[in-house]
Structure 1
Amino acid sequence: MPSATTRATLSRQWELLRQLPSRPPGTTSAELVARLQDAGFSISKRSIERDLNELSLIFPLERNDKSIPYGWHWAANACVELRGLSISEALSLALVEEAVRPLLPGSMLKVLDARFSHARQKLEHLSGANKAARWLDKVASVRPDMNMQAPEVPDSILETVQKGLLEEYQLKCQYYSAHNDKLSEMTLNPLALIQRGQVSYLIARADPYSDIRQFAVHRFRKVSILSSATEGLEDFDLQVYLRSDALQFGQTDKIELHAWVSDGLARLVRETPLSADMSLTPLERGHRLRATVSNSWQLRWWLLSQGDGLIVEQPTTLRQQIAETLGKAAAQYQTV
């Protein structure tokens, strides 16, 4: 097995070859040093020049001597295909792998599995000599809410849902509604697949209704693809749908929220505003918050999570709903 030093040298030289243009005037040694350093390789201009001279003995490389500094490039009509991944490509694949797995059709994922594996292997083998290859050890993405486990989704269910969406056919399914504790049979027109935190949602219309609904993929019990084409695709725009805040659940209409907030909460929402038009007015005690927000379940969950650090003032109906929920919760604690 090649030593770590040999692997690092080969990887550096491979990256060097990938950086060379196909025609004059070429790329200078100084420019190549900067590019390789950006890719995590610590190397001098002298080492680059030595590499280029050695590589030109076995690859069709040419040096442009017409001007100083000299530029290196591939020879005219050179037919060379450099397979493999660069450091940046390997890092990109490793970083996005977990996020894209639930969203890619199984057939496409099988094609990418080899590249994901190659990316992880390349970064692991170069981590000792290449700083960029150690980037994964220095960055992370974490969820801001409870660290709950992802629901289990059988591969057969997910693959069938993805295939129906990809090929634009209707789906016949059995779906469990947790809200009603009921199993229903329905025909769906699949429109989109969205990953929201740990849960994947199929966005679809259920025959014979025309409204767009969200179906948690892990709640499908049986799914099969019908021969009939999906209806309503031409009227659906995923980006418009996302901008409507539909994935916050509940209604998508906007309301003007007025609330008293504590000084501590005011400092937090000043850093991460609830909306572009949010304002905070200092009071003798605390602040008054105003913001245009979606009238959604997500909003109610957030309001309830603030405890005594927030009091809803307007709209009146929202204030009453929050007050009733908190009152019932407090009563439960008193009776236990």
Structure 2
Amino acid sequence: MPTHSTRTTISRQWEILKLLPNRAPGLTAAELHQQLEEAGHRTTKRTVERDLNELSSVFPLHCNDKGTPYGWYWQPGRSIDLPGITVGEALTLRLVEDSIRPLVPGLMLKSLEPRFNQARQKLTALGEESASARWVDKVASVQPALNLIAPEINAEHLDQLHRALLEDLQLHCQYRSANKNRVHELTLSPLGLVQRGQITYLVACAEVFDDVRLYAAHRFEAVTLISQPGRRPADFKLSDYVRSGAMQFGEGQMIQLRAWVDPTLAKRLRETPLSEDMKLIDQPDGALLTATINNSWELKWWLLSQAGAIRIDEPKTLRQALIDSQRQSLALHDTTI
């Protein structure tokens, strides 16, 4: 089994070969040393010079020795596509692996599995010598909301959703609605796949509806691919759909929110505003908040979570909806257990 020193040398020299350009004037030992340091390899310029001399005896490398500084590069027509990944590539793969799994088609994911495995092995092998390899243990991404457990998605169903999206085909589905707990027979034209927190949603048009709707991937009970081209609205773009606020479970209606907030919430909102045009006007007991914001369930959930720190003044319909929700909650909690 190779020692840590041997693995470090092999990894460093392999990275040098990846960094070398295929034409003059090439890269100097100093430039290569700097790039290696940025990639997490602890080394010296003298070590890089020795590496270059050793590698040039095995690989078709050329040194521009006609003038200083001396640049190294692959001989014309002799550069090779080296297998493997750099430390930076390995780190990137490890950081994105979990988040992209639900969004990548099964066949493509299978082709990525060796790269994911290689990334883990490379970072583990270089962990003691490379600061960059240890970076994955020093960063994390968490959801700001309650950390719910992700629902299980039938792998075959997800594969069919991926195929329909790739090939722009329709799907015949059995879908269980969240509220009525009833299974619906639907023919869908998939338009996109969106990961929202722990839930994967299919964005699609159904034959029985005219609008674009969301379907939670874990609620499909049967999925069959149909050799019929999907029906795609001419002006539909997934990026525009997401920006419209649809993933907040709204209808894209913008409202002028006017409210009083207490000092603590006002401070948080100054750090993370609700909208680009949000304003806070200081008052003796808090602040007056104004903002243009998408009227959605996400907004209502957030407002309810801040119930003791905010009073809605406008719009009146939103104010009444929140009052009704809180009255219902009070009625439930007033019930004697």
Work out whether the TM-score is over 0.5.
Answer: yes
- Name the CA distance, whole Å, in 2 between partners of 1:323 and 1:51: 72
Identity %: 49
Indicate whether 1:285 and 2:294 are aligned.
no
In structure 2, what is the equivalent of residue 329 of structure 1?
A: 329
- Name the CA distance, whole Å, in 1 between partners of 2:233 and 2:261: 44
In structure 2, what is the equivalent of residue 181 of structure 1?
A: 181
In structure 2, what is the equivalent of residue 169 of structure 1?
A: 169
**1:18-47 CA-partner distances (Å, limit 9, x unpaired):** 111111111111111100000101111111
> Which structure 2 segments of 5+ residues have no match?
none
Q: C-alpha displacement at 1:5, in angstroms?
A: 1.1
Q: C-alpha displacement at 1:62, in angstroms?
A: 1.3
Equivalent position SS for 2:134: helix
- Name the CA distance, whole Å, in 1 between partners of 2:165 and 2:78: 43
- Name the CA distance, whole Å, in 2 between partners of 1:330 and 1:18: 65
For 1:211-230, what aligned pairs fall within 5 Å after superposition?
211-230=211-230
- Please tell me whether the aligned partners of residues 103 and 195 of structure 2 are also in contact (alpha carbons under 8 angstroms): yes
- Name the CA distance, whole Å, in 1 between partners of 2:88 and 2:277: 38
For 1:88-237, what aligned pairs fall within 5 Å after superposition?
88-237=88-237
Q: What TM-score results when the alignment is normalised by the length of structure 1?
A: 0.98
Matching residue's letter, 1:153? I
Equivalent position SS for 1:325: helix
Equivalent position SS for 1:113: helix
**1:35-84 CA-partner distances (Å, limit 9, x unpaired):** 00001011111111111111111111111112212111111221422111
Indicate whether 1:261 and 2:261 are aligned.
yes
Equivalent position SS for 1:145: coil
Q: C-alpha displacement at 1:161, in angstroms?
A: 1.0
- Name the CA distance, whole Å, in 2 between partners of 1:208 and 1:147: 35
Matching residue's letter, 1:57? S
The number of residue pairs the alignment matches comes to 336
Q: C-alpha displacement at 1:152, in angstroms?
A: 0.2
**1:210-231 CA-partner distances (Å, limit 9, x unpaired):** 2000000000000001111101
RMSD: 1.0
In structure 2, what is the equivalent of residue 48 of structure 1?
A: 48
**1:82-138 CA-partner distances (Å, limit 9, x unpaired):** 111011111111111111110011111111111111111111111111111111011
- Name the CA distance, whole Å, in 2 between partners of 1:255 and 1:68: 66
Q: C-alpha displacement at 1:176, in angstroms?
A: 0.4
Matching residue's letter, 2:241? Y
- Please tell me whether the aligned partners of residues 193 and 202 of structure 1 are also in contact (alpha carbons under 8 angstroms): yes
In structure 1, what is the equivalent of residue 67 of structure 2?
A: 67
- Please tell me whether the aligned partners of residues 24 and 71 of structure 2 are also in contact (alpha carbons under 8 angstroms): yes
- Please tell me whether the aligned partners of residues 191 and 233 of structure 1 are also in contact (alpha carbons under 8 angstroms): no
Matching residue's letter, 2:72? W
Q: C-alpha displacement at 1:331, in angstroms?
A: 2.5
- Please tell me whether the aligned partners of residues 259 and 290 of structure 1 are also in contact (alpha carbons under 8 angstroms): yes
Seen in structure 2, the aligned counterparts of structure 1 residues 330 and 227 have a Cα distance that, compared at 3 Å, is same
In the TM superposition, structure 1's runs of 4+ consecutive aligned residues that sit over 4 Å from their partners are none
- Name the CA distance, whole Å, in 2 between partners of 1:312 and 1:34: 56
- Please tell me whether the aligned partners of residues 258 and 291 of structure 1 are also in contact (alpha carbons under 8 angstroms): yes
Larger mean Cα displacement after TM superposition, 60-69 or 130-139: 60-69
- Please tell me whether the aligned partners of residues 22 and 79 of structure 2 are also in contact (alpha carbons under 8 angstroms): no
Equivalent position SS for 2:224: strand
- Name the CA distance, whole Å, in 2 between partners of 1:81 and 1:258: 60
**1:205-256 CA-partner distances (Å, limit 9, x unpaired):** 1103220000000000000011111012543211111111110003210000
In structure 2, what is the equivalent of residue 239 of structure 1?
A: 239
- Name the CA distance, whole Å, in 1 between partners of 2:268 and 2:218: 34
- Name the CA distance, whole Å, in 2 between partners of 1:210 and 1:327: 36
